[in-house]
Amino acid sequence: MALLFLAAYGFYFFAEMKETSDNHKEILEPLKFRPKTKNPETRWVPGQTILSLTLITVGSQIFVKNLDHLSISIGIAPHIIALFLSPIATELPEILNAIIWVRQGKERLALANISGSMMIN
């Protein structure tokens, strides 16, 4: 089943990437580093991406350490706490992004985000 899902996601990905219709173009928001520049220099894009990934990594480490402290304080094994709280922590941002994008009229982006998240899980 996993190979079938992977193949289906690959098909969906390539179908979305070769979509050329003008009515499916998404309006991208400006970079946080250069909010007033419509087309920032290319070096700003990897810089913002690297900083974002660094913050995600640090945040995940903080989350894991807090799970460990929580498990000790309530007397439940850390893997049991992680089993229940980790799915909530990983899917909640995806759901909130989807809600925001649907409210902005970006249904295709929300659907792509949710389907990608489901594929990874």
31-84 pLDDT, tens digit each: 777 788 877 777 888 888 899 899 989 988 898 888 889 898 999 998 888 888
Residue 25 lies in a domain: no
Residue 3 lies in a domain: no
Residue with tokens 């007033």: 36
pTM: 0.56
Q: Per-residue confidence at 113, pLDDT binned at 50, 70, 90?
A: confident
Residue 73 lies in a domain: yes
Among 94, 115, 107, residue whose Cα is nearest residue 11: 115
- Predicted confidence (pLDDT) at residue 26 exceeds the cutoff of 70: no
Q: Per-residue confidence at 24, pLDDT binned at 50, 70, 90?
A: low
**Mean confidence (pLDDT) of the chain:** 82
pLDDT of 67: 87
Residue 70 lies in a domain: yes
Sign of CA dihedral 94, 115, 60, 78: positive
What percent of the chain has a predicted confidence (pLDDT) above 90? 7
Domain count, the chain: 1
Residue 7 lies in a domain: no
Domain that residue 117 falls in: 46-121
Residue 68 lies in a domain: yes
